[in-house]
Structure 1
Amino acid sequence: MNAQTSFDIPVLLREDRAGGIAVLTLNRPTSRNALSEALIEALTEAFDRIGSDPSVRAVILAGSGPAFSAGHDMKEMTARRSDPDRGRAYFADLLERCSAMMQRVVRLPQPVIAAVEGVASAAGCQLVASADLAVAGADARFATPGVHIGLFCSTPMVALSRNVAPKHAMEMLLLGEMVPAEDAARIGLVNRVVPAGEALAEALRLAAVIASKSPHTVKIGKAAFYEQAEMSLADAYAHASQVMTENMLARDAEEGIGAFIEKRDPAWTGS
C-alpha cells in the first residue's frame, strides 16, 4: 500500500490469493497494529481499490504480530494536545476519517471477514464489528476499554451496538473488560472460534465458499442486508421484495436456478 511509516515500511500489506480473495494485513506489530493516520489512510485506499475491482470476491482483515489491533494510536493523538485548540480540530477530523473508513467496510461490494488473533480493542474491536463475518482464534480477546482512561468508546459503540444485544454492548462499554473469544461468539461479535493460530486459515475457507457464489448476487445481497436493517418492518419487506424481484431478473439468478433444476454446476457471469 502507499501509506508507509517513517522507516518506509508499509503499514498495510495486501496479498491476493487464488479464487479472488484479498488478504489485508495490518502491519504495525510493534504498536499492536494501532490505527494510526497512515493505517487509516491505507485501509481507506485499499477498500476503494478493492471495491472497484471485480476480480476480488472476498476480503480478509488480519493483523501481524501478537495483536489484531489495539485501536487508535493514543501517542499520535496525544501529541496534538499542544495545538492551539488542544487538538479539537485534529481529533474531529481523525475520527471522521476513521468512521468513513469503517463505513467503507459495510458498503464494500465484497464481504469482509475479520481473522482475529490476540487482542482487538477499542477501534480494533470496532473494525471487527464492522466486518461482515469474524473468526477468532481461541486466545483472542475483545474490549472497548476506553472507560478505564476517561474516554468512552463512543465511535466503537456504533458498530458494536449493531452486532450484539444492547445489554451486552453496554456491559462491554461500561466495564471495559476483556471478553474471551468464546464469549464473543456467544454474544454474536464473532461467528466462530477456532484453535489459536488458525483464524486466518478458517477465514480463507469461508472466503473461498463465498467466492464460489455469484458475485452479483453477493453484492446486492450484502447491500440489501444493511439497507433493510435501518428500516421499519414494513419498509424492510417492501425493499427486500423489490431487491429480490430485480435479483430474479439477473442473468446469474436465471443461470443458477436453471443449473439447480438441471442438476449441474452454475456458470456465473457476474451479472
Structure 2
Amino acid sequence: MKAVSDFRRPISREQRHIPTLLRPLDELARYSDHLFAAHIAFERQLGVREILPKYLFAGPGDSRSYLRVGIFAGVHGDEASGVHAAIELLNRLHAEPELARGYELFVYPVCNGAGFGENSRWLRSGNDMNREFWKGSSELEVQLLERQLLHLRFDGLISLHSDDTSEGLYGFVKGHQLTRHVLEPALEAAGSILPRNFDRSIDNFEANNGIIELGYEGILSAPPEQKPRPFEIVFETPHHAALEKQVAAHVRASITILDRFRVLISEAQNI
C-alpha cells in the first residue's frame, strides 16, 4: 500500500495542507467496506467554509453490540505525530479490519486545522484548544467537538499528543475503572519503539510508571454528566523523537488499547 506520507522527512508547508494530506484517505473511503469519510463542514465567517475532518471505521462484527470509541489528534496544531498516526491507523485498519472487530471508531485526525496549518499549538484566536472544553467556549472547533461527544456518547476516548518536555512515552488516564489496565499494556507495547518515561513527576503531575491519574481542566473529554463513564486516555510521545517512531508508537498504542479494552469488556460481561 502506498504510504500517506514520508515520515522520515521534515513536514513541509504543503504537507500541512489538510485537503492534500487527507486526499488519499478520502479516495480509500470511496470504495472501502469499512471506512467512511464524514467530514463536518462549518463557516467561521460568512461565505468561508472549513471542515473538521472526521472518519468512521466500522469493524467486523454485530453492529448492535459495537463498542464506540473516538480517536482525536491535532488538538495542538504543532503536534504532527498524532495527525499522521491517526491517518496511518486508518490505513492499517483498512488493510487489517479484524483489528477493529467489534468497534465503531470515529477518528478526528486534525481537530485544530488552523493551528496545524501554521505549525502552531494554538487556535486561530490564540487560545489553547485543550483548555476550552465544557466551559461554555466560544471557539467553533470546540463547540463542534462537544456536540460530537454529546451525541455519540463514546465508550472510550483516545487523544494523541506529543510533549516537548518529555524524553519518553507516558499517558493520562481517567473515567472507566478499567482505564489504567488498558493504558499499561499500550505503554509496554509502544515501549519497544520509544522509551517510557518513568519519572515520578511528569508535566508537574505525580506519575507512576508513566501513568498520570490527574490532569488539566478543560481538556477534550467526555461530557461531565455522561454515565457510565468511558475510558479516557491521553497518550503522549516525546516530541523531539524521530517523527516516524512517534507515529509508529501512537499506532501501536492505539491498536493495543482497542484490543485490551475489548478483552476486558468481554471478560467483565463473561462472554
User: TM-score, normalised to structure 1's length?
Assistant: 0.30
Q: Which has more helix, going by share of residues?
A: 1
User: TM-score, normalised to structure 2's length?
Assistant: 0.30
More contact order relative to length (CA 8 Å, sep ≥ 6): 2
Larger radius of gyration: 1
